[in-house]
Chains A and B, each alone.
Chain A
Amino acid sequence: MIQFDRVSKRYPNGKDALSKVSFTLPAGQLTFLTGHSGAGKSTLLKLIMMLERPTQGQVFIEGQNLNGFGNRHIPLLRRKIGMVHQNHQLLFDRTVFDNVALPLIIAGYARSDIGKRVRAALDKVGLLDKEKLNPIMLSGGEQQRVGIARAVVNKPPLLLADEPTGNLDPALSEEIMDLFKDFARVGVAVLIATHDLSLIARYNHRLLTLREGRLIHDGDEGGHHGS
């Protein structure tokens, strides 16, 4: 689903954000990405979203080399990626329904189809009864779930989450994680960037650890299974 092949990223200020990072994420797998701030997590996500381009190496998504993508192709790539943000990135000038519908409108779905898909996504995250509300009236956990509904509404094969549980208490974090596990189960490649070690410890999933731009660990979170 995602393949990084010796990817390096050096910013114009000379900082090496990533150095020769290689890994593969298959479909249907949930993977944690961790590391201290500044270790390169955000850069890695930006490369997948094509917000940045690698200085060296290649990123493949669904077998396609992103180096061959022009700026024109970027929107189409992003439609294949659901992105969940720590700060939700919801729009407070419209309803929950309209927030979730945005990716479908952009992708050009027929109006009648949009309603069904939005409600299916809201149902999935348990917010079907809140579709007419403004997201500002929702709790933090609910807002995050609206963000997730928006990320998955057009059924992308890839789901990225940047500190999705950053502002949530453990119980809410667990709800969110359960959602991500459900998506992985139906074949979505899920990549969760987090420095919440307790969250990682609670689940037995593959873990990628970055330190100063290098991938220093790739494998199961050994020794901390379950809890």
Chain B
Amino acid sequence: MAANKGPRNATPIKANRQKPERVRRVAGAHSARTSLQDRFRSWRQHHQDSFRDALQRLNAARASSAMTILVIAIALALPAGLAVLLDNARAITRGWDGNAHLSVFLDMNISEQRQRQLARDWQGLDNITRTEVITREQALAEFKALSGFGEVLEALPDNPLPPLIVVYPDETDPVTLRALENRLAEADGVDLVQLDVEWVRRLHALIELGERLISALTLALAAAVVLVVVNTIRLAIESRREEIVVVKIVGGTDGFVRRPFLYSGFCFGFAGGATAVILVQVALWWLGGPIDELLALYNSDESLTAMAASSLIVLPAFSGILGLLGAWLAVGRHLGDIEPNF
């Protein structure tokens, strides 16, 4: 604004002072027009004024503005907070995906040589990154070490554990895994193929369900935000009825009348979104300790990550657009009802 002061105080004034009258006299049919440059400047000026006016009115009715902003903030903090938690869940389980493998148990009578041969053959197949051979002896040793049943096993005449080939796939999507499982099951000497990713897939399905739920929740609560703003702006329009009538009588365009309300709507939305960011951050800080502890218990060195930096801007901007939309709806619905009369 300060930058405009200079030129406005210089030459344009003179042109502006004379122009409306001259135009009117020469071509009476045209309205009292100012120059295009002046009109653009005043249009921009009115935008600034409307914005400032919106902020002032927000501030003037602090208590009720705060209520509206809080309602918007809570409505947005809920899906935003859940989305952050879900993002964390996805990040943590992403590592588990890499461990997806198939345990291929071979027939008992397969020799160790044959077992290694098979492992080597499979390594060249599609969708298999690598294979790992676990001989019956290795399996026994591992079992003894980990299960605590070592002595029981020694009492048995034979090693009861079958030879095992662990197959690591390059894809973890269900279709590929299922196909690979079927293919290996049909191979010679294979007794049983066990897919060890079922629970990971269940988890992924749950996360996906969560995403859907959050999307639906976001939609519903975004609609709520719009409605809150519609109602707030409707009341604002009602309380400024006289002003609107006067503005229309002295030749204010619809845009001129609409503008302050659109800015109000945007301000409500933006402030609500910014408050939602704060609410989410506080909630994450509050939950951070217990969640990190929980993760540590699951041998994860992950810790709760906060909202993405971009969300700090995106959420208020998104909310501002919702506010603008609400104001637009309210204005379109109610401004036409107010016409001058005498």
Which residues of A are in contact with B by a Cβ distance under 8 Å?
A: 42, 45-46, 49, 51, 62-64, 75-80, 83, 85-86, 89-91, 93, 102-103, 105-113, 116, 150, 154-157, 162
Q: Which residues of B contact A51 (CB under 8 A)?
A: 339-341
Does the CB pair B29–A62 fall under 8 Å? yes
Does the CB pair B251–A107 fall under 8 Å? yes
Give CA–CA (A90, B243) in the complex, Å.
8
B34 CB-CB contact with A under 8 Å: yes
Which residues of B are in contact with A by a Cβ distance under 8 Å?
A: 8-9, 12-13, 16-17, 20-21, 24, 28-29, 31-32, 34, 38-39, 41-43, 45-46, 49, 242-243, 245-254, 256, 339-342
Contact (A89, B242) CB under 8 Å given A109-B16, A113-B13, A156-B32: yes
Does the CB pair A80–B249 fall under 8 Å? no
Contact (A108, B38) CB under 8 Å given A78-B249, A93-B243, A102-B246: yes
Summed over the interface, the residue pairs from A and B with CB atoms below 8 Å come to a total of 102
Give CA–CA (A155, B247) in the complex, Å.
17
Contact (A106, B247) CB under 8 Å given A62-B28, A85-B342: yes
Interface centre among A42, A89, A150, by most chain B C-beta atoms within 10 angstroms, is A89
Mostly, the B contact residues are helix
- For the complex with contacts A106-B250, A113-B17, 20 further pairs of A-B residues with Cβ separation under 8 Å are A42-B342, A46-B342, A51-B339, A80-B32, A91-B243, A103-B251, A106-B247, A106-B251, A106-B252, A108-B34, A108-B38, A108-B42, A108-B43, A110-B8, A110-B16, A110-B38, A111-B45, A113-B13, A116-B17, A157-B24
Give CA–CA (A86, B256) in the complex, Å.
25
What are 6 inter-chain pairs, A to B, with CB distance below 8 A? A46-B342, A51-B340, A78-B248, A90-B246, A110-B38, A157-B24
B339 to chain A, nearest CB (A): 7
Q: Which residues of B contact A91 (CB under 8 A)?
A: 242-243, 246
Does the CB pair B251–A75 fall under 8 Å? yes
Q: Which residues of A contact B9 (CB under 8 A)?
A: 112
> Which of A46, A79, A111 contacts B32 (CB under 8 A)?
A79
Contact (A112, B8) CB under 8 Å given A62-B28, A93-B243: yes
> Which of B28, B42, B251, B252 contacts A157 (CB under 8 A)?
B28
Q: Which residues of A contact B21 (CB under 8 A)?
A: 155
5 nearest A-B pairs in the assembled complex, by CB-CB distance: A108-B42, A79-B251, A78-B251, A76-B31, A103-B250
Which residue of chain B is the closest to A73 with respect to CB atoms? B31
Give CA–CA (A77, B250) in the complex, Å.
9
Contact (A107, B256) CB under 8 Å given A64-B29, A85-B342, A154-B20: no
Contact (A155, B246) CB under 8 Å given A51-B341, A112-B8, A113-B13: no
Q: Which residues of B contact A64 (CB under 8 A)?
A: 29
A10 to chain B, nearest CB (A): 18
Which residue of chain B is the closest to A86 with respect to CB atoms? B342
Does the CB pair A49–B249 fall under 8 Å? yes
Q: Which residues of B contact A80 (CB under 8 A)?
A: 31-32
